[in-house]
Amino acid sequence: MTDAASGSPTIGAPAPTLRTQLRALLEADLLVQLRNLRAVALSTILPLVLLFGTFAGRRAQILGDPRFKVASCMMLGMATIAILGYSMGVARDRDAGVFQRLRVTPTPGWAIMASRLAIQVLAILVMAAVVLVAATAFESVTLDAGGYVLTLLAVVFAAAMFLSIGQALVGLIRSTDTLNAVSRLAYIPLFALGLLGHTDILGTNLETIARWSPGGVVSTMLGGAMSPTTWNGETWTAVLVALAYAVVFAGAGIRWFRWTAS
Amino acid sequence: MSGPDSDPRGELALAVADLQVSYGQKRAVDGVSLEIEDGEIFGLLGPNGAGKTTTLSAIEGLLRPDAGTIEVQGVDARANPLRARAMVGVQLQSTGFQAALTILEIVKLYAGLYGLARSRSELLEALDGVGLADEASRRFAQLSGGQQKRLSLLIATIHDPVLVLLDEPTAGLDPQARRQLWNRIGRIRQRGRSILLTTHSMEEAQAVCDRVAILDHGRILAVDTPAGLIEKHRDDPRVVGVAHGEVTLDDVFIGLTGQDYRD
């Protein structure tokens, strides 16, 4: 390609715009997410198994308010997607040099990560919708229109917090093997504390700890969102605590994140 | 950003001055300066750990230099990294792409990142140009080493950059694949584009490079055409001491950088 007047080379590509770059990234990340069938199945089936399990027999009485059981199921799905799915996916791509290749293009680093996070939020929203539909269809947990809207907003907010924890893990831990082990260890208490946040079966002290753990505040937030008339001061406090967790974990995850494994 | 409004004429494709890069206390690149003209193929030769890849990484924007300037077609790459990267194509020494994507989807992704909206038929045509149209629905890991290198080169040049950076582009390839890649490199130059490549192969340096620099311990020891380097160092005692018969570029390289093992 040459400039006819001067014979000098002209530059072939038009200026890349952020819009075209984000579109390309989102399309690729969505394809990757859809093709990761194991992750899709895990993040959807596990919450459904828990949903049917917690509503069955005597456990239905022990774990209290049905809304909190549904919230716990969604929390399990979020933790699975953010802690096991997102952080491990980033670590594997970091090992494979995928980020290094993307970074030598004229794409801002934040856009590369924002696209991935957006797809994870979408996956979490789909999971939450599946759980809500199942809860309505099989367990007769119904919400009013405002409740559904508020719940999905709370899911987005909670997703940001869980993804920030995933980001912190992959930011602080460079080795994929170590991350795999640590994220599995972190995943269980994160979810279990959330589940116990609204029951005193292990005592009031543990209940208090559980209530203000990341999982606990998400459970409170979702419970409030599913029944807007019960939204109160504690729910607002849970929102603020979740925000604080998100800021702290995201800050650590971004500050110490390395694009390469070496 | 590069495009019809820019006026690159009269600028060097790449100008690097007094580049310094450290890893902790270790100075990996120590005052490297080089200039590459439009349409020139410039080779960086050096033993392992000489600073070749680090120099390239700094130019690519993957590493933050301690000091020095980097200009791509007159654009300050340190002050405007995204603008500079839009004019540069990169083939990394080891390339990774998303394992779940097909070859066609990978090319589409990178075309989009350079602002190019390509139809499926255009993407297939581009793949056909590097003999990969039949592999369009396969994954990167399923390609042979030579096919992977061809795909990497296609992606590096998909936006027709003014400068292409190739880090050991033919490492691990068989002679046929290497020769094909040299031909592709030659065709990039024919379009008036410039290339900076690193290599361990003196044969490659002589076959494709207009000029080469010998780099060791982060410093450039010599710069010239391959023939010029041989001529200049023909009587150098360090070179004569390692030559077996007529002095070759290999002898000049060993003579200047020594015979010790490198990590």
The predicted-structure confidence for B117-140, as pLDDT tens digits, reads as follows: 889 999 999 999 999 999 999 999
Closest approach of chain A CAs to the CA of B162, in angstroms?
6
Residues A109 and A103: beta-carbon distance below 8 Å: yes
Among A122-136, B1-15, B169-183, the least confident range: B1-15
- Given A2, A20, A23, which is nearest B192 (Cβ)? A2
Distance, CA of B151 to chain centre: 15
Residues of B in contact with A32 (CB under 8 A): 98, 100-101
Regarding beta strands B194-199 and B163-167, do their DSSP bridges make them parallel or antiparallel, or are they unpaired?
A: parallel
Q: Does A145 touch chain B (CB under 8 A)?
A: no
- Given B87, B94, B191, which is nearest A97 (Cβ)? B94
pLDDT classification of A3: cutoffs 50, 70, 90: very low
Half-sphere exposure of B69 (CA within 13 A, CB side): 10
pLDDT at A203: 74
Q: Does A111 touch chain B (CB under 8 A)?
A: no
Per-residue pLDDT reduced to its tens digit, B182-205: 998 999 999 999 999 999 889 999
Q: Which two tokens stand for residue B71?
A: 């200009």
Alpha-carbon distances, residue A131 vs A38, A75, A123, A124, B187 (angstroms) = 18, 10, 12, 11, 57
User: Which residues, listed in sequence order, are joined to residue B17 by a DSSP beta bridge?
Assistant: B69
CB contact under 8 A, B96 and A31: no
Alpha-carbon distances, residue A84 vs A60, A115, A180, A256 (angstroms) = 28, 18, 8, 19
Mean pLDDT of B99-113: 96
Answer yes or no: is pLDDT of A80 > 70.
yes
Q: Does A20 touch chain B (CB under 8 A)?
A: yes
Q: What percent of chain A has pLDDT over 70?
A: 89
- Given B95, B110, B113, which is nearest A97 (Cβ)? B95
CA B70, B73, B76, B81 dihedral sign is: negative
- Given B60, B101, B113, which is nearest A21 (Cβ)? B113
Per-residue pLDDT reduced to its tens digit, B49-70: 899 999 999 999 999 999 999 9
Mean pLDDT of A171-199: 84
Residues of A in contact with B111 (CB under 8 A): 24
Supply the DSSP symbol for A76: H
Answer yes or no: is pLDDT of B13 > 90.
yes
pLDDT at A200: 66
pLDDT classification of A59: cutoffs 50, 70, 90: low
Residues of A in contact with B8 (CB under 8 A): 8-11
CA nearest to A9 within chain B: B192
Q: Does A27 touch chain B (CB under 8 A)?
A: yes
Question: pTM for the complete prediction?
Answer: 0.88
CB contact under 8 A, A16 and B115: yes
Closest approach of chain A CAs to the CA of B201, in angstroms?
24
Closest approach of chain A CAs to the CA of B85, in angstroms?
5
Answer yes or no: is pLDDT of A12 > 80.
no
Mean pLDDT of A69-91: 90
* More confidently predicted of A36 and B98: B98
CB contact under 8 A, B62 and A104: yes
pLDDT at B245: 85
